């Protein structure tokens, strides 16, 4: 992956945290238009983190459209957010309810925020197993 160029006009920490809050609120509320408006015109999506990058709002639209079409109720809860420069790394707990079935997982997402305070890029590290399960722990018996 090539290094991203960073502008000298870095958004403020407040703008970065606000972009994350809008992301969480709009997705949890299944506010498609509000969620998509929080992205730049040609945002980058890397989901999962080792997948090829995709560019354009249409890829983000596909994500929320699948959730809406499935009749899911989704609640995103930020656990931790660390801001460096124009990026924020966020640990987000995800609760998804479909047909009365509840699924819980976690995602680590790295957001790059544009000068105007909108999301320019998301790289998502997605959990595919129960986080309390030893299968998700490193060789030393620690989660990671």
pLDDT tens column, 58-75: 999 999 999 999 999 999
Which pLDDT value is given to residue 130?
A: 53
Q: Which residue has 């596909």 as its token pair?
A: 62
The predicted model scores a pTM of: 0.82
Low-confidence ranges of the chain (pLDDT < 50): 1-3, 6-7, 134, 136-144
Q: Which residue has 């006009």 as its token pair?
A: 9
Beta strands in 47-130 (DSSP E): 54-55, 73-84, 87-98, 101-113, 119-126
Q: Which residue has 């000298």 as its token pair?
A: 8
Are the C-beta atoms of 59 and 46 separated by less than 8 Å? no
Are the C-beta atoms of 76 and 28 separated by less than 8 Å? yes
CATH number of 13-128: 3.10.450.50
How far is Cα 35 from Cα 29, in angstroms, rounded to an integer?
9
């Amino acid at each position: 992956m090539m290094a991203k160029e960073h502008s000298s006009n870095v958004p403020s920490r407040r703008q970065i945290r606000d972009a994350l809050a809008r992301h969480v609120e709009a997705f949890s509320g299944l506010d498609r238009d509000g969620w998509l408006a929080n992205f730049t015109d040609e945002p980058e999506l890397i989901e999962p983190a080792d997948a090829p990058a995709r560019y354009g709002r249409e890829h983000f639209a596909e994500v929320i459209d699948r959730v809406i079409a499935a009749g899911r109720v989704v609640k995103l809860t930020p656990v931790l957010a660390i801001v460096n420069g124009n990026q924020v790394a966020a640990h987000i707990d995800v609760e998804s309810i479909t047909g009365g079935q509840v699924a819980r997982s976690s995602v680590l997402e790295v957001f790059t925020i544009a000068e105007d305070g909108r999301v320019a890029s998301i790289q998502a590290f997605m959990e595919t197993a129960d986080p309390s399960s030893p299968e998700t722990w490193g060789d030393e018996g620690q989660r990671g």
